[in-house]
Amino acid sequence: MEMSNFINAQNFDVIIVGSGGAGLTLALSLPDHFKIALLAKSHLNDASTYFAQGGVAAVLHESDSIQQHIEDTLIAGAFLCETQAVQQTVEGGKAAVDFLLGQGVQFTLDEDQNLHLTREGGHSKRRIIHAADATGKAISTTLVEKAMAKENIQIFENFIAIDLITSQKLGLDTDQNRAWGLYALNEKTEQVHTFLAPFTALACGGAMKAYLYTSNPDIATGDGIAMAYRAGCRVANMEFNQFHPTCLYHPQARSFLITEAMRGEGAYLRLPDGERFMLRFDERAELAPRDVVARAIDFEIKRLGIRHVWLDITHKPESFIIEHFPTLHARLLDLGIDICKEMIPVVPAAHYTCGGVMVDPHSQTDLSGLYAIGETAYTGLHGANRMASNSLLECFVYGLAAAKHIQSEHHQHVQLPVVPHWDTSQVTNADEDVVILQNWDELRQTMWNYVGIVRTTKRLERALHRIEMLKNEIAEYYNDYHVSKNLIELRNLVLVSEMIVRCAMQRKESRGLHYSLDYPEMSDQLHKTILMPPNFELKNSAINEPA
């Protein structure tokens, strides 16, 4: 293991990795006397939350009910959702919304000055609160502003977490393995810092940069999932990767998402000849769950040999379109597309990681003192397919739950151990960084071609073979050279890609987001796929309730 001679270890009460909705909710929900470190891999707003166009799903209207939201979630998740997690999340909707309103987030209001509710795929009712079509931006900028104003929150931008520090790694003779903090690279100075705390939370987002085409920001490299696994935490359901059906097909905006709310407000999907093809695949047409819509688009693109399909909202009044989708209208106009008069070229793109680090109802992982929140975590909420706008809700509900649990545990006096600093004495500067670029491109091509929307056993076997070779090359490179941002991300991505393939190979059925031509039917047996790291010990797990 490569370690620095940076001599100033920094001690905190809580370390939070990630500045999206999950991490910021935790940071802002802890008491002011807690000393908190908030690490952001890039700048604070560079997180998936910021780019979320849709909204937050919550039961807020008398025509809706908790039970209906639960049932919609279970159906969208192909009944693989954990009932306890669904109930906890849905019942926590009102408190989550109150938290956001309390922080000052400005949501869109209706004519009566109540929260305007829209509808998205899979939802039987209008229950999505939003800020026009840029909800994530409104939430992220507000929470970031609040965090920056807090004296007890110390912010570290451009700090990339490398690995967790645990009792096991330190060789401590304890009854239970525990997280004590982490090592992180300061990208600006290229120094590795030691962060120590009795509580660490991974809110690093998902891993969809494993795929060649994705709607995710560049930071989504599975860092939290990979670090937790290496530290001894179980990971579950990594085969369920959501491909958003409608990513803009345009050379100047490869990761630009066309919000699902547009289909919720009546947009149609069409083929080049104008056919509204979704009616052939599902009676819910454009409002079918995302996996159904993405597979239908993928099928038509391959059947016809076309590069994209069209999303059409031109049949709606111009005033309606601009009022509901002002950000989208302006952005596409800059790219030469007037959505009031022209159809939008769209393709599916890797969008959301439904699996992740297993946690309990408090967001605690198998490792005592370590929490995982948001897209990094597997709570059991999403099952085999995430329903639109449930993910932001999950961030806030479980962020609040983690804050409550950390407060309840904080009264116990924990003595931080003596931790060695990062040692660079056995490594040198890399001779050619082109090796990283080559492996990065090959990994993402492999995942896109063999582990995409439609899978086969043969494709998965080929993918695993290539990934294992890349993993060995990357491990050798990691051991020999100084760490860099690209190397850290590649090391994490190759491990998470392996997890996706191994989970997919375990699932001998087609369910939700996992569709196999070799196993096209849905099994009668419900099970989650669990990967146990070599250093996992069930008797030492901090998870008291099954997740």
The residue segments making up the domain with residue 137 are 10-240+354-409
pTM check: above 0.95:
no
Closest CA to 483 of 58, 192, 180: 192
At 230 the pLDDT is: 98
Whether 416 is covered by a domain: the verdict is no
3-state SS, residue 530: strand
What is the domain-level CATH number for residue 338? 3.90.700.10
Whole-angstrom Cα distance, residue 29 to residue 37?
14
91 and 131 inside one domain: yes
**231 within domain boundaries:** yes
Q: Which of 339, 374, 409 is where one domain is finished? A: 409
Contacts of 23 (CB under 8 A, 6+ apart): 16, 17, 38, 201, 203, 373, 374, 399
Whose tokens are 């111009």? That residue is 318
Residues 48 and 174 in one domain: yes
Q: Are residues 460 and 443 in the same domain?
A: yes
CA pair distance 386, 384, nearest whole angstrom: 7
| Residue of 86, 51, 81 whose CA lies nearest to 70 | 86
345: helix, coil or strand? strand
Same domain assignment for residues 375 and 336: no
Q: Are residues 373 and 312 in the same domain?
A: no
Q: How far apart are alpha carbons 194 and 7 in whole angstroms?
A: 8
Task: Give yes or no: residues 219 and 247 share one domain.
Answer: no
Q: How many CA atoms lie within 13 A of 229 on its CB side?
A: 27
Residues 136 and 226 reside in one and the same domain = yes
**pLDDT computed for residue 545 by the predictor:** 56
Neighbours of 130 (CB within 10 A): 25
- The answer to whether residue 339 is domain-embedded is yes
User: What are the C-alpha distances in Å from 449 to residues 429, 452, 501?
Assistant: 33, 6, 12
What pLDDT was estimated at residue 2? Answer: 34
Query: Is position 537 within any domain?
Result: no
The residue among 19, 527, 535 whose CA lies nearest residue 228 is 535
DSSP state of 491: H
Strands 199-202 and 14-17: parallel
Give me the DSSP letters along 16-73. EE--SHHHHHHHHHS-TTS-EEEEESSSTT-SHHHH--S-EE---STT--HHHHHHHH
At position 282, the amino acid (one-letter code) is D
Q: What is the CATH number of the domain that holds 494?
A: 1.20.58.100
State the CATH number of the domain containing residue 203. 3.50.50.60
Strand order in the sheet with 56-57: 56-57, 128-129, 117-118
**Any domain includes 415:** no
Domain termination residue (choose one: 314, 332, 351): 351
* Tens of pLDDT, residue by residue, the chain (547 residues): 333 333 457 899 999 999 999 999 999 999 999 999 999 998 888 888 888 877 999 999 999 999 999 999 999 999 999 999 999 999 999 999 999 999 999 999 999 999 999 988 789 999 999 998 889 999 999 999 999 999 999 999 999 999 999 999 998 877 788 999 999 999 999 999 999 999 999 999 999 999 988 888 889 999 999 999 999 999 999 999 999 889 999 988 877 889 888 998 999 999 999 999 999 999 999 999 877 898 899 889 888 989 899 999 999 999 999 999 998 999 999 999 999 999 999 999 999 999 999 999 999 999 999 999 999 999 999 999 999 899 999 999 999 999 999 999 987 667 888 898 888 877 888 766 788 889 999 999 899 889 999 899 999 999 999 999 999 999 999 998 899 999 999 999 999 999 999 999 999 999 999 999 999 999 999 999 999 999 998 888 888 755 4
Residues pairing with 156 in the sheet = 39
Q: How far apart (Å, rounded) are the C-alpha atoms in residues 359 and 378?
A: 6
Amino acid at 155: I
Same domain, 122 and 234: yes
* Neighbour tally for 304: CB within 10 Å: 13
Residue 198 lies in a domain: yes
- Are 233 and 366 in contact by the 8 Å Cβ rule? The answer is yes
Distance CA 539, CA 366 (A): 10
Is 428 part of a structural domain of the chain?
Answer: no
Name the pairing type of β-strands 235-236 and 356-358. antiparallel
**How many domains does the chain contain in total?**
3
In DSSP terms, which residues pair with 57 in a beta bridge?
A: 128
- 378 with 325, same domain: the answer is no
Rounded (5°) CA angle 105-111-114: 45
Tell me: do 147 and 286 sit in the same domain. Answer: no
Please indicate, yes or no, whether residues 377 and 450 belong to a single structural domain of this protein: no
Whether 503 is in a domain gets the answer yes
State whether 225 and 124 are in the same domain.
yes
Catalytic residues: 290
**307 vs 300: CA distance, rounded Å:** 10
Burial class of residue 546, CB neighbours in 10 A (0-12, 13-18, 19+): exposed
C-alpha distance across the termini of the chain, in Å: 32
Whether the Cβ atoms of residue 246 and residue 311 lie closer than 8 Å to each other: yes
Residue with the two structure tokens 């110390």: 154
